[in-house]
Amino acid sequence: MQKYLHLIVEEIQSAAEHAVRDMLKTIHTTTHGAPLHATDYMDDGTRIQLKVTIDPSTGGAIFDFTGTGPEAFGNWNAPIAITNSAIIFSLRCLVNTDIPLNQGAIRPITTIIPPNSLLHPSPEAAVCAGNVLTSQRIVDVVFRAFGACAASQGCMNNLTLARTTRRTGGGTTRRYAGVVGRAVVAGHRGRAYQYDEYADYGSGDPGAA
């Protein structure tokens, strides 16, 4: 049973890989082989820069983020896994077929990300908002490079909620109700992709920090 399950998963990933390779070959033809470029900036001015070079013989591509700004003092740094996830999301929107979410979509992609940058931060860098904020700006940059949409606002518009309650016997507990955000992006066929995020961070004693 496990053997057949692995075969099915491999077929799903292979189908996604071929769909992305076919799409990239088509893009290479329509752009006459010219590299694709895009740049966008975080609210603090940190640059996210991308150059996409497509190999027409294989349908593979290099996503080169050289030129992206240094890691931030804030918590909107994004580990490499976040960049890869943003690339997968973007490619699924760009392909001309429906494919399930899986890593086969990124098999044709080689990523180059400079170390100690916003998208490849050091182990000491804070990364919380990189998941919900910077990830969308990466998606914007990819879409802009492919000329897929206007990429006007790559932001989750985060709102953090909290409530303080009295505990029996004295003291208080602060419950962080969550981070709420919504984003809508458009695929190249005009379909709207909307996704929401909610995270409950639990409770803690503000006096114990």
Domain boundaries defined on the chain: 2-156
CA–CA dist 201, 195 (Å, integer): 20
Structure tokens at 208: 């114990």
What is the structure's pLDDT at 101?
86
**With contact defined as beta carbons under 8 Å apart, do 167 and 181 qualify?**
no
Residue that has been written with the tokens 């953090």 in this structure: 160
**pLDDT, tens digit, 9 for 90 and up, residues 109-163:** 999 999 999 999 999 999 888 888 899 899 999 999 999 876 666 666 666 555 6
**pLDDT, tens digit, 9 for 90 and up, residues 19-70:** 999 999 999 999 999 999 999 999 889 999 999 999 999 999 999 999 999 9
Structure tokens at 6: 């692995």
Strand partners, 161: 178
Q: Which of 156, 171, 66 is CA-nearest to residue 117? A: 66
205 CB burial (10 A radius; 0-12, 13-18, 19+): exposed
| Residue 174 pLDDT exceeds 60 | no
96 pLDDT tier (thresholds 50, 70, 90): confident
Instruction: State the DSSP string of 89-153.
Output: HHHHHHSSS---S-GGGGTTEEEE--TTBTTB--TTS--GGGTTTHHHHHHHHHHHHHT-S----
CA–CA dist 99, 13 (Å, integer): 9
